[in-house]
Amino acid sequence: MNAIELTDTGKTFGRVTALQGLNLSIRAGELTALLGPNGAGKTTAISLMLGLAAPTSGLVRVLGADPRRGDVRARLGSMPQESAVPPALSVREAVTLFARFYPAPLGVEDTLRLADLQAVANRRAGALSGGQKRRLAFALAVVGNPEVLLIDEPTTGMDAQSRLAFWDAVAQLRATGRTILLTTHYLEEAERAADRVVVMNAGRLLADGTPEALRAQAGGARVRFTSSLVLAELRRLPGVESAVLDDHGHADLRTRTPEALLGELFRQGTELRELEVSRASLEDAFLSLTRPQEPLSAQGVSA
Ligand SMILES: Nc1ncnc2c1ncn2[C@@H]1O[C@H](COP(=O)(O)OP(=O)(O)OP(=O)(O)O)[C@@H](O)[C@H]1O
């Protein structure tokens, strides 16, 4: 079953088109990362899935129905980018209060543990640090025991340890079969955690697949080194898909056949310094997908 279904969905705000013709099906139990540059339409898509706004065109279905229905919204959990919790409430009071809004909530103490908030359970919400506030927002998103969890930029403002604890909690929730969709600008986190990555830009879907599939789209490997080769020579190397050369002679090449490329460089006897070969990352794929399209003549040294 699809937990979330957007069919030819559009959303405009006056003259601004936030989403256009978006088609997206998220299967139940899937952990999906929604990626895109600022203004791509990610938050707008989530607000439609949460039933907070109506699409201008097309259809939005969550758990098989219109998410603006109260009975559907009760089965969803939301962690917005910014959440307003009454500052005078303690963390435990806020979680207890939110639990009352739902028919079959998780236990308050279990929720505090899941969100790694036990140590600050008695602290006033208004006195929390930025990262603790994000963890409280996460606790409030999950306390209702949601079937579908929609999370907007969860780890922004969290330190390294909080991030680890957060991803651990997400893994625990996922293991119980929940559908989780999250946006993030931390691509290495998406790469590690998500079953599926959806890339949006300018309100449209650009790519959709497993992190491995998207990485493969970016080209298999990056080969970097410093040498005296000029751009035309770099481009003539076997299997080069793109080449960038800076003023200091640092070359950055993309290729699916790094062995052949290095073999040719060694055969030519080219003197290489600072040689690095790495797998193309999801970030490479993301950047190549979302890079503004320029006419060929304006692309400078990038092949
Ligand atoms: N209520 C609104 N009124 C007018 N324009 C809006 C409104 N909400 C969003 N937009 C516009 O719609 C576009 C998409 O915004 P959205 O917040 O969905 O992007 P995003 O991908 O979540 O960006 P970010 O990564 O910066 O959070 C932007 O151009 C934004 O300015």
- Span of 141-145, 228-232, 252-256 with lowest mean pLDDT: 252-256
- Judge if the beta carbon of residue 67 lies within 6 A of ligand 1: no
**Ligand 1 atom at shortest distance from the alpha carbon of 37:** 25
- Span of 23-27, 95-99, 233-237, 288-292 with lowest mean pLDDT: 288-292
In the predicted structure, residue 284 carries a pLDDT above the cut 70: yes
Question: Which residue's alpha carbon is at the smallest distance from atom 6 of ligand 1?
Answer: 13
Measure the CA angle with vertex 89, ends 83 and 91; round to 5°: 70
pLDDT band at 4 (very low <50, low <70, confident <90, very high): very high
Q: Decide: 196 and 35 in contact? Cβ < 8 Å.
A: no
pLDDT at 215: 82
With the most atoms of ligand 1 within 8 angstroms of its CB, the residue from 13, 186, 187 to mutate is 13
Quote the CA–CA distance of 188 and 211 in Å, as a whole number.
10
Q: Decide: 255 and 220 in contact? Cβ < 8 Å.
A: yes
- Judge if the beta carbon of residue 154 lies within 6 A of ligand 1: no
CATH topology of domain 219-298: Alpha-Beta Plaits (3.30.70)
In the predicted structure, residue 51 carries a pLDDT above the cut 70: yes
- Average pLDDT of the residues in 258-270: 94
In the predicted structure, residue 30 carries a pLDDT above the cut 80: yes
pLDDT at 292: 66
pLDDT at 82: 82
Listed in sequence order, the DSSP H helices in 156-243 are 160-175, 187-193, 211-217, 231-235
pLDDT at 298: 37
Encode pLDDT of 91-138 as tens digits: 999 999 999 999 999 999 999 999 999 999 999 999 999 889 999 999
Taking the domains of the chain in order of start, what are their residue ranges? 2-215, 219-298
Cα dihedral: 217, 218, 223, 227 (round 10): 130
Q: How many angstroms does the Cα of residue 152 sit away from the middle of ligand 1?
A: 13
pTM summary value: 0.83
The answer to ipTM > 0.85 is: yes
- Judge if the beta carbon of residue 293 lies within 6 A of ligand 1: no
- Average pLDDT of the residues in 283-288: 80
Mean pLDDT across the chain: 90
CATH topology of domain 2-215: Rossmann fold (3.40.50)
Proportion of the chain above pLDDT 90, given as a percent: 73
Q: How many angstroms does the Cα of residue 44 sit away from the middle of ligand 1?
A: 6
- Judge if the beta carbon of residue 38 lies within 6 A of ligand 1: yes
- Judge if the beta carbon of residue 80 lies within 6 A of ligand 1: no
pLDDT at 156: 86
Instruction: Please tell me whether residue 4 adopts helix, strand or coil conformation.
Output: strand
Quote the CA–CA distance of 221 and 240 in Å, as a whole number.
10
pLDDT at 97: 96
In the predicted structure, residue 42 carries a pLDDT above the cut 70: yes
- Average pLDDT of the residues in 243-266: 92
In the predicted structure, residue 207 carries a pLDDT above the cut 60: yes
- Judge if the beta carbon of residue 39 lies within 6 A of ligand 1: yes
With the most atoms of ligand 1 within 8 angstroms of its CB, the residue from 17, 42, 155, 181 to mutate is 42
Residue 295 Cα distances to 37, 64, 243, angstroms: 21, 44, 17
Instruction: Please tell me whether residue 89 adopts helix, strand or coil conformation.
Output: coil
**Residues in CB range of 178: below 8 A, 6 or more apart:** 29, 146, 147, 148, 149
Question: Which residue's alpha carbon is at the smallest distance from atom 3 of ligand 1?
Answer: 13
Question: Which residue's alpha carbon is at the smallest distance from atom 4 of ligand 1?
Answer: 13
DSSP conformational letter for 118? G
**Residues in CB range of 96: below 8 A, 6 or more apart:** 108
Question: Which residue's alpha carbon is at the smallest distance from atom 11 of ligand 1?
Answer: 18
In the predicted structure, residue 234 carries a pLDDT above the cut 80: yes
Q: Decide: 181 and 151 in contact? Cβ < 8 Å.
A: yes
